[in-house]
Amino acid sequence: MIFKYKLLSEKLAVLEKTKHQYYDIYQDSDCPLCAEEKETFTHIWLCLYQAETFSQLYNNFKNMLIFGILDLSTNISAQQLSDQFDLLLFTKSSHSSNITFLDIIKGFISTTLVEWLQKYTNASQRRNLLTKAFDKLYEDSLDLWKLRCEAFASIEHMCSITQYMKRSISYNTKYKEPFTSYHNINSFFDFSSFNIEYIEYINLLIRFNVAYIDLFTFNIP
């Protein structure tokens, strides 16, 4: 459940976030896998080093839905379903307003996906099918993240970066936030999970593309 929340809120401890606390250690380091770009949440999935694994995530999710439909219906072939799914255009990249496979990884269930499943399933079947597909997707996503963390830990070990070193270092002034009085009510809440741009991005997705978030937890009219 914690991992699901971190996916939805883009709160995974990517290097660009880690720098906010330990800039003196990591400074301007790039992605620990490809060493070519900044490691942001989006880059985790689009990193060239993870390209094959990311494609496998996509194919596993698609196949879970396809074979689930085939178990319920014999009036269509796997190839036809595969072609139909690809026409939903869940691109394997980021997009400012259209839902992509990255959004599905975060837990968004698009309207177009639900409408496609409605052709072959009733409500109960659809829910069970999506539950199994998303459980598998979260499992695969966690495996991808674990591989990244193992690689990152190996690099830290080679560079003699220890937990003691992290605990003893103070925030670097490059990332220090201005002092906020504890009398300010905002100080009692953590709004760092969502910046304004991300809130607007989610709003666009929900308004135009999303049927459900995180397996029907929220029903979007």
Is residue 105 situated within a structural domain?
yes
Supply 197's token pair. 């741009």
Is residue 213 situated within a structural domain?
yes
Q: What is the pLDDT of residue 198?
A: 53
95 pLDDT more than 60: no
Is residue 51 situated within a structural domain?
yes
pLDDT in tens, 27-82: 888 998 998 999 999 999 999 999 999 999 999 999 999 999 999 987 899 999 99
Q: What is the pLDDT of residue 176?
A: 52
Q: What is the pLDDT of residue 8?
A: 85
pLDDT in tens, 177-198: 443 333 333 333 344 444 555 5
Is residue 10 situated within a structural domain?
no
| pTM of the model as a whole | 0.74
Which residues, at least 6 apart from 52, have a Cβ–Cβ distance to it below 8 Å? none
Is residue 160 situated within a structural domain?
yes
Least confident of 15-19, 47-51, 114-118, 159-163: 159-163
Positive or negative torsion for Cα 103, 133, 213, 74: positive
Confidence of residue 165 (pLDDT cuts 50, 70, 90): confident
207 pLDDT more than 60: no
138 pLDDT more than 80: yes
Looking at the 3D structure of the chain, how many domains does it have? 1
Q: Could you tell me which of 96, 71, 60, 66 has the C-alpha nearest to residue 81?
A: 66
Domain that holds residue 47: 42-219
The arithmetic mean of pLDDT across residues 86-97, rounded, is 69
Is residue 100 situated within a structural domain?
yes
Is residue 36 situated within a structural domain?
no
Is residue 133 situated within a structural domain?
yes
